[in-house]
């Protein structure tokens, strides 16, 4: 356990000094996966053989390199959400339709991690095509929350968050369309960062809702999140929406200098329906910051109440278009018996997609269809602009916002599966951030009386990940929570 508890920076130092071999580290992570997987189901694919082979090569290379030639992720094993392409590794998106699909290429984030020497140990479980908030819509079965195996780890990046929490991954990459990095991070007591839209290339991330999707780190600490963000950020010619904006060294932002910052508490995020214990823990963070020289004032984001509805028009609309490509001709799954081409399309999709994905495709097709487009999709886009403007107004007064990540802590497996609306509401505090394209980070800030982790969310201005990382790191170091579950 000792090795897997260390930070990426510490591991890098040990490897650099040649006090630790990549193969030892890979073995430590694989051992942990072996110990925990039967309980958690956090991985869909474990690439143990590949990882061992790469580690051996890295061991040899290490003997030939001098300290300053060793890149920051050299020999460090990572896990990846199974909707991000890793060359020659199966990528299922937790679906039946892609059950046997093998990625022909690396996503840009993977290429960047590889260039810095990272090794990949496996692909993490998720909700099918990242649609969900509990990892229960996975074709490969639900992931369990390491804090309570009867509860969900959140979703859709539930496998990544559970693995990092249980230390069966040193760190992972997830994707966040409406909360899928931050919400599972909060449920599992780990750190989850959704970068600004455009900060990280989406090339090689399986598209769910292209105007909302963003890849980001799920890690044990804020420092680890900054460490990975440094590597994966930056413009990419393969993603036209990736921004041509300089990438700072995010680690330098973690200097504890929070004094003088201005924080906003959006009153719409502390309304009835939020678990009092969640509220209490989050407000304690605001107090802590205030004691340390941060000014805290109430702000208003009046259109927050429309965020979930707006999202559930825009995201399914984009999904219905993006998922049109799974037609039985391209990719892998095809129905066995069919009369003609149309019948083949229909049967393949009927058999290959799960209920939640079908629900989204149907809603999206409906809201985009002639006669309904103006009433739903166009209207939703207008409300989206209003939500964005609400944040802009708030950021004229304050530097960042403090909110809960979720209205409640991890819920029981099966508790919301029969009621999609209930499930959708668990993202009520994360979704607006995606609609506005802003950065948001989820950091553990306490436990409720059931012993389940509570997360606090910091939301920043576009391309100002530095402020929220700085604040998150400060809070993490002040609170000194023991966030390792006993499994
Ligand atoms: N839970 C939300 C949904 O079901 C968000 C998912 C995500 O961020 N990928 O769409």
- Run of H or E including 366: helix 355-368
Q: Could you report the per-residue pLDDT of 52-96, keeping only the tens digit for each?
A: 999 999 999 999 999 999 999 999 999 999 999 999 999 999 999
Residues 6 or more apart whose CB falls under 8 angstroms from that of 164 comprise: 170, 171, 172, 188, 190, 218, 219, 220
Give the chain's end-to-end CA distance (angstroms, integer): 12
The owner of tokens 């939020």 is 274
Q: How many C-beta atoms surround the C-beta of residue 273 within 10 A?
A: 8
CATH number at residue 244: 3.90.1300.10
Closest ligand 1 atom, residue 315 Cα:
10
Probe residue for ligand 1, chosen from 94, 156, 174, 211 as the CB with the greatest number of ligand atoms within 8 Å: 156
DSSP 452: -
CB 218 within 8 A of CB 124: no
Distance 427 CA to ligand 1 centre (A): 8
143 vs 149: CA distance, rounded Å: 9
**What CA dihedral angle connects 131, 176, 224 and 33, to 10 degrees?**
10
Position in ligand 1 atom list of the atom nearest CA 175 = 9
Nearest ligand 1 atom to alpha carbon 312: 10
The token pair that represents 132 in the structure block? 């969900």
> Could you tell me if residue 375 is inside a domain?
no
Active site residues: 81, 156, 180
317, part of any domain: no
Number of domains in the chain: 1
Q: Which residues contact residue 440 at a Cβ distance below 8 angstroms, ignoring those fewer than 6 apart?
A: 182, 193, 194, 430, 433, 457, 458, 459, 460, 468
Structural contact between residues 258 and 474, judged by C-beta atoms closer than 8 angstroms? yes
CB–CB of 228/174 below 8 Å?
Answer: no
Is the CB of residue 218 less than 8 Å from the CB of residue 168? no
Residues whose CB is less than 8 angstroms from the CB of residue 63 and which lie 6 or more positions away in sequence, other chains included? 18
Whether 158 maps to a domain, the answer reads yes
CB 211 within 8 A of CB 182: no
Residue 21 forms part of a structural domain? yes
User: Who lines ligand 1 at CB under 6 A?
Assistant: 130-133, 156, 176-180, 208, 315, 427
Is 20 a domain residue? yes
Q: 163 in a domain, yes or no?
A: yes
Structure tokens at 37: 């997987």
Q: How confident is the model at residue 424 (pLDDT cuts 50, 70, 90)?
A: confident
In a domain, 370, yes or no: no
The pLDDT tens digits of the residues spanning 271-314 come to: 888 999 999 999 999 999 999 999 999 999 999 999 999 999 99
Best substitution site from 127, 197, 426 to test ligand 1's pocket, by max atoms within 8 Å of Cβ?
A: 127
Ligand 1 center to 177 CA (angstroms): 5
| CB atoms closer than 10 angstroms to residue 381 | 15
pLDDT digits (tens, 9 = 90+) for 435-460: 999 999 999 999 999 999 999 999 99
Does 426 fall in a domain?
no
Domain ranges, residue 8: 3-258+466-479
pTM to 2 decimal places: 0.98
């Amino acid at each position: 356990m000792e090795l897997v508890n260390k930070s990426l920076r510490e591991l890098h130092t040990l490897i650099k000094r040649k006090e630790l071999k990549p193969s030892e580290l890979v073995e430590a992570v694989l051992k942990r996966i072996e110990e925990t997987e039967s309980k958690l189901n956090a991985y869909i694919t474990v690439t143990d053989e590949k990882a061992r082979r790469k580690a051996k090569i890295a061991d040899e290379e290490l003997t030939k390199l001098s300290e300053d030639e060793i890149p920051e992720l050299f020999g460090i094993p990572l896990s990846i959400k199974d909707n991000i392409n890793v060359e020659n590794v199966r990528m299922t998106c937790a679906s039946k339709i892609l059950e046997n699909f093998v990625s022909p290429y690396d996503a840009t984030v993977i290429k960047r991690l590889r260039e810095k020497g990272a090794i990949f140990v496996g692909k993490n479980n998720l909700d099918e095509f990242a649609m969900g908030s509990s990892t229960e819509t996975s074709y490969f079965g639900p992931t369990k929350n390491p804090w309570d195996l009867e509860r969900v780890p959140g979703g859709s990046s539930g496998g990544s968050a559970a693995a990092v929490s249980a230390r069966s991954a040193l760190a992972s990459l997830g994707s966040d369309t409406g909360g899928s990095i931050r919400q599972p991070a909060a449920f599992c007591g780990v750190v989850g960062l959704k970068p600004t839209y455009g900060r990280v290339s989406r090339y090689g991330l399986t598209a769910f809702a292209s105007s909302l999707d963003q890849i980001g780190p799920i890690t044990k600490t804020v420092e680890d999140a900054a460490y990975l963000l440094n590597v994966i950020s930056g413009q990419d010619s393969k993603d036209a929406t990736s921004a041509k904006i300089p990438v700072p060294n995010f680690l330098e932002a973690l200097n504890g200098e929070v004094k003088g910052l201005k924080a906003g508490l959006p009153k719409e995020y502390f309304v009835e329906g939020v678990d009092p214990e969640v509220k209490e823990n989050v407000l304690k963070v605001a107090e802590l910051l205030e004691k340390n020289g941060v000014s805290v004032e109430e702000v208003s984001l009046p259109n927050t109440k429309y965020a979930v509805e707006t999202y559930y028009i825009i995201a399914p609309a984009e999904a219905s278009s993006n998922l049109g490509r799974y037609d039985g001709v391209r990719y892998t799954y095809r129905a066995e018996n069919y009369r003609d081409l149309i019948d083949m399309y229909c049967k393949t999709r009927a058999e290959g997609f799960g209920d939640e994905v079908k629900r989204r495709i149907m809603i999206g097709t409906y809201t985009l269809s002639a006669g309904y487009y103006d009433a739903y999709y166009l209207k939703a886009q207008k409300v989206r602009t209003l939500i964005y403007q609400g944040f802009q107004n708030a950021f004229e007064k304050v530097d960042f916002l403090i909110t809960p990540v979720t209205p409640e802590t991890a819920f029981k497996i099966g508790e919301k599966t029969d009621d999609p609306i209930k499930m959708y509401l668990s993202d009520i505090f994360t979704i607006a951030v995606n609609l506005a394209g802003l950065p948001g980070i989820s950091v553990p800030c306490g436990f409720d009386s059931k012993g389940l982790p509570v997360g606090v969310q910091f939301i920043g201005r576009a391309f100002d990940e530095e402020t929220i990382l700085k604040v998150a790191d400060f809070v993490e170091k002040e609170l000194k929570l023991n966030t390792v579950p006993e499994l």
